[in-house]
Amino acid sequence: MNTRAKIEDAQVDDYISQLAALEAGKCRDPFAFLGLHQLDAKRSVVRCFIPGATEVKVLTNNSSYGLERFRKSALFTLDFKADDISKDYLLEVHYPEQTVTARDVYSFDSCLADDALYLFNEGTQAQAYLHLGAHQVEIEGVIGFRFGVWAPNALSVSVIGEFNHWQAVQHPMRLHPASGVWELFIPALEVDCCYKFAITTFEGERIEKADPFAFKMEQAPGTASITQARPAAFTLSQADHDKKALRNKINAPISIYEVHLGSWKRREEEGNRYLTYRELADDLIPYVKALGFTHLQLMPISEYPFDGSWGYQPVGLFSPTSRFGGVEDFAYFVECCHREELGLLIDWVPGHFPSDPHGLHKFDGTHLFEHADKRQGFHPDWNTYIFNYDRAEVKSFLLSNAMYWIKEYAIDGLRVDAVASMLYLDYSRKHGEWVPNQYGGRENLGAIECLKSVNTKCYGVDEGIMMVAEESTAWPGVTRSVEHDGLGFGYKWNMGWMNDTLNYMSKDPIHRKYHHHEMTFSMVYAYSENYILPLSHDEVVHGKGALLSKMPGDDWQQFANLRAYYGFMFAHPGKKLLFMGAELAPREEWDHNQQLNWKLLESEAHQGVYECVKALNTTYKSTPQLFECDNKSTGFNWIDGGNAEQSIFSFVRYGRDGVTPLVVIANFTPQTHFQFRLGVPLAGVYQVVLNTDDKEFWGSGVGVVAHKQQLIESKSIASHGFEQSIDITVPPLATVYLQLISGGTC
């Protein structure tokens, strides 16, 4: 039986003080006041603060007790005999139009693991997403959501959402002072509820922030996080894991199709809407497979507020964007990639974040995720904020995010955006606009260690993945192991090759002889890193024009130039990447607001480029000489790299056997060269396996050899330093591959 002892005078001041904090949404330690508390050996008290309630009862041990309202406030309280109430009591809350019965939020003990929080504060927590954020869990037989957020400098933090009418006064959180993490378990809360964290800064300002670890977020213009059961982690069979490891190895054929999901294809007949993840699984994956690509790379799919950023200014790093469906839909897309043995890479953006008020900027009222000094924490090019890589918790946040995609979805790897902007403190800054490191240098030591940690941990979880750096400078050892003082990436984009070769291709053929070195210079450093040759989205936006528009000449010559360039690219050492639409050869640069111009395939010229890309992928994958020794000097040898006058490049590619040659000759002028003698390393019969000037590709159809079999036998005539040579016709603006198929006669 309860003893309704009145609140003693000595307690009144404390109640008034606590009530004021609760009513202001500034309660720093709600568990010290709310819930069940033992007053002494004989008495306990239950206190609850429930705005809008007309009556509150405690249900326990088959008994019901009405709580008393304190001074007409939303604070209800009642004293009990110490043994009259059990910890699992229920609150029956009466509102004007409904009655709700549930466990008291403030009757649950903390369920956060101290060791996990310790690692988070240490900067080594690789799975912080299991501990922070919103998690559907069962505690003491009750299912609900446990919320956790890092906000060490906040005065108070509350969970707000649809379930409490976005009132910061109803669900104040518990602070773990040692870690700066706030936590609260809300029983009976279901999935698909919008929520945020209402944070009171020490200056008294109220700010509302989305959950940095949310698995699901609203699509813009909405800014809330959404309660979501943790996606079931993918578990690949050993056979599937082995296949993934094989397709990502340095001696494997890797041809990547880069995609912006919002503009690859749309449903124009339905208001120009996006395709869903499930529709993309049905349409995009078979399309990429049919074109012969081995990998699909998605531009950033972490939730982002501004479409014009293409995902490169993310807010919800753990949340697949809801533009294309829910978390389960994205998981289906990933599963389809696994099933089709199509490698899946995702763009990852750890270099900066936007200034949206619900995002990471000044998260708890202080510069928590970014440096306070604008010379270190603000990116002048993109008007974004730079992560403070020197802060341990920021390292745990980024490390956990990388691990989330690798471990939970079993994707093939991450392409890390804008690595150069992370490595250099003076990146895009003038003298006096940056702060040197502790040694007086320009290297961002925190970012370097962060990248090393991410690569080490991700490869440690799955050595069969590929971590790719978009790094545009000559930083040494990007793909060298961390143990040997490298950054630990598996691959690096060869931006130098891209810039040089595109500059060469943009020249009129009559002037190309003066720029010959731009096509050969990449071989000076070709083996310094494990390279990917990228023709990415960055080359077809912001007034740069489409690839086709960069090509000189009349209509036929533009298409021929582009096909020859693709042929040269696929023969050059390094893995390959083409941005979506490269196979269609559009004349207009990419527009993220509309789908690719699929009607181009009705044109013979554009269809020819499509067929050429398809043939290049097929030949590439079936020809070991083109991929097995990309990072070894034994895999390449010039036949003639100095023929500037004719703008002809010829070289040999070798596979692991180091014996069987694939001869490549590329002519970058419109002139046809008849009876062209080309030295070859071995005697025998050579077969034309690909000619970008083939009529099938809308080429001129000038035959490399006179007869249809496309076979030619070498002669004992010395040329280009070789004892053997072949006599061929070199087509105009074309790249030709010749495979040694046997010795003897035709």
Q: Which residue has the tokens 């690096």?
A: 492
**Which residues fall within 8 angstroms of residue 424, CB to CB, at 6 or more apart?**
442, 443, 444, 473
Strand-strand pairing, 255-259 and 575-579: parallel
pLDDT score at 331 = 96
Angle formed by the axes of helices 495-505 and 555-571, nearest 10°: 150
Confidence (pLDDT) at 512:
98
Let me know if the fold of 114-226 is the same as that of 252-492: no
- DSSP 3-state of 239: helix
Residues 42 and 656: their CA atoms lie apart, in Å, by 83
Model pLDDT, residue 743: 72
Q: What DSSP designation does 405 have? A: I
Per-residue model confidence (pLDDT) at position 363: 98
For residue 450, give every residue at least 6 positions away whose Cβ sits within 8 Å of its Cβ, in sequence order, or none. 350, 389, 394, 395, 398, 399, 422
pLDDT of residue 7: 59
Mean pLDDT of the 478-484 span: 97
Least-confidence region, from 7-21, 113-127, 327-341, 718-732: 7-21
**Nearest one of 482, 481, 603, 498 to 544, comparing CA atoms:** 498
Active-site residue set: 417, 470
Q: Mean pLDDT over residues 422-447, rounded?
A: 96
What pairs with residue 711 in β-bridges? Answer: 687
For the chain, domain boundaries: 9-104, 114-226, 252-492, 626-742
What token pair was written down for 697? Answer: 């590709």
Mean pLDDT value across residues 605-625 = 98
For residue 1, pLDDT over 70 is answered with no
- The CATH H-level superfamily of 9-104 is Immunoglobulins (2.60.40.10)
| pLDDT bucket at 707, cuts 50 / 70 / 90 | low
Of 7 and 15, the one with more pLDDT: 15
**Distances from the Cα of 320 to the Cαs of 140, 266, 277, in angstroms?**
31, 19, 10
Assign domain 114-226 one CATH number from 3.20.20.450, 2.60.40.10, 2.60.40.1760, 2.40.340.10.
Answer: 2.60.40.10
What are the structure tokens assigned to 93, written together?
């809350």
Cα 723 to Cα 643, 716, 718, 726, 741: the distances in Å are 19, 6, 4, 11, 18
For 81-109, the pLDDT digits (tens) are 877 788 899 999 999 999 999 999 999 99
pTM score, two decimals?
Answer: 0.95
Determine phi and psi for 484, rounding to 5 degrees: -110, 30
Integer Cα distance of 373 and 393 in angstroms: 18
Name the residue among 727, 740, 623, 625 with its Cα closest to residue 684: 740
The whole-angstrom distance between residue 648's C-alpha and the CA centroid of its chain comes to 39
CA 261 to chain centre: 13
Mean pLDDT value across residues 488-516: 98
Does the pLDDT value for residue 3 go beyond 60?
Answer: no
For residue 7, CA distances in Å to 47, 53, 69, 79, 734 come to 12, 21, 11, 9, 93
**Is residue 8 pLDDT above 80, yes or no?**
no
CA dist list (Å): 223 to 97, 197, 214, 354, 676: 30, 12, 12, 13, 65
- Say if residue 221 is preceded by a cis peptide, omega within 30 of 0: yes
Taking the alpha carbons at both ends of the chain, their separation in whole angstroms is 107
Of the candidate ranges 256-265, 373-382, 575-584, the one whose mean pLDDT is the lowest: 373-382
Res. 706: pLDDT tops 70:
no
Compare 399 and 234 and report the one with higher pLDDT: 399
| Mean pLDDT of all residues belonging to the chain | 95
pLDDT in tens, 168-193: 999 999 999 999 999 999 999 999 99
Q: Taking residues 494-511, what's their average pLDDT?
A: 98
Strands 343-348 and 295-298: parallel
520 φ/ψ angles, rounded to the nearest 5 degrees: -110, -20
Coil vs helix vs strand at 546: coil
What's the token pair of residue 663?
A: 């001869």
| Model confidence at 746: pLDDT above 50 | no
Scored b (16 or more CB within 10 A) or e, 659-690 reads ebbbbbbbbbbbebbeebebbbbbbbbbbbbb
pLDDT at 430 over 60: yes
pLDDT at 744 over 60: no
Helix axis angle, 327-339 to 277-291, nearest 10°: 20
Q: Is residue 708's pLDDT more than 70?
A: no
pLDDT in tens, 618-637: 999 999 999 999 999 999 99
Superfamily of domain 252-492: Glycosidases (3.20.20.80)
Report the alpha-carbon distance of residue 393 to residue 119 in Å, rounded.
9
Q: From 3.40.50.300, 2.60.15.10, 2.60.40.1180, 3.40.640.10, which CATH number describes the 626-742 domain?
A: 2.60.40.1180
Measure Cα distances from 327 to 155, 277, 404, 652 in Å.
33, 9, 13, 48
